[in-house]
């Protein structure tokens, strides 16, 4: 019985200092958020960049708690640090439009009045086939029907057809 009590109490002891855990969590969250921000919009899939970073880091912190070398308390402190940064960045983005521009990419136009904006397509590694596939999914048969198309911050393509506007 003494062996079980020692093991259970060991699960909740800190292996690293509180300051180190807070600094590690902060650097990881902010560093990965920055790196994800400079990737093309479509790299994150359908999640917003901040959501992807948050989910990735929470999963990573939780897996360490399941292993042999880290305690549950260490993982919980890291997870709480990540939750803090996620909350703060969401709050700052809501109240300060400038901050939102730092963490979220604005929509990027790839079609204007039926004409491809190839430079923007190259920047996002969007092929003509991928664009046309997205247009077809929205019931648009040709570029002539498109007033504008944008790659949104989450990688989705938004299409404004000429039919919608008269």
Instruction: Delineate the domains of the chain, giving CATH numbers in brackets.
Output: 2-103 (no CATH), 108-165 (3.30.240.20)
Q: Which residues pair with 108 in a beta bridge?
A: 151
Q: In terms of Cα–Cα distance, which of 107, 92, 101, 89 is closest to 148? A: 107
Q: Looking at the whole model, is its pTM more than 0.75?
A: no
Q: Would you give the distance in Å from CA 135 to the centre of its chain? A: 24
pLDDT digits (tens, 9 = 90+) for 95-105: 998 888 887 78
Report how far apart, in Å, the C-alpha atoms of 95 and of each of 26, 51, 100, 101 are. 21, 18, 9, 12
pLDDT digits (tens, 9 = 90+) for 46-102: 556 667 777 777 777 767 654 444 677 887 888 888 889 889 998 999 999 888 888
């Amino acid at each position: 019985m003494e062996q079980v009590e020692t093991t259970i109490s060991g699960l909740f002891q800190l292996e690293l200092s509180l300051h180190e855990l807070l600094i590690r969590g902060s650097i990881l969250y902010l560093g990965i958020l920055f790196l994800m921000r400079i990737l093309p919009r479509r790299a994150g899939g359908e999640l917003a960049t901040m959501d992807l970073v948050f989910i990735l880091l929470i999963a990573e912190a939780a897996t360490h708690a399941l292993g042999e070398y880290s305690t549950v308390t260490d993982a919980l402190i890291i997870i709480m640090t990540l939750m803090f940064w996620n909350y703060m960045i969401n709050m700052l983005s809501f109240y300060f439009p400038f901050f939102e521009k730092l963490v979220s990419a604005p929509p990027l136009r790839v079609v204007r009045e039926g004409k491809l904006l190839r430079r923007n397509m190259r920047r996002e590694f969007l092929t003509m086939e991928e664009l046309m596939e997205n247009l077809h999914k929205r019931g648009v048969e040709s570029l002539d029907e498109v007033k504008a198309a944008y790659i949104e911050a989450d990688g989705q393509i938004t299409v404004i057809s000429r039919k919608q506007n008269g």
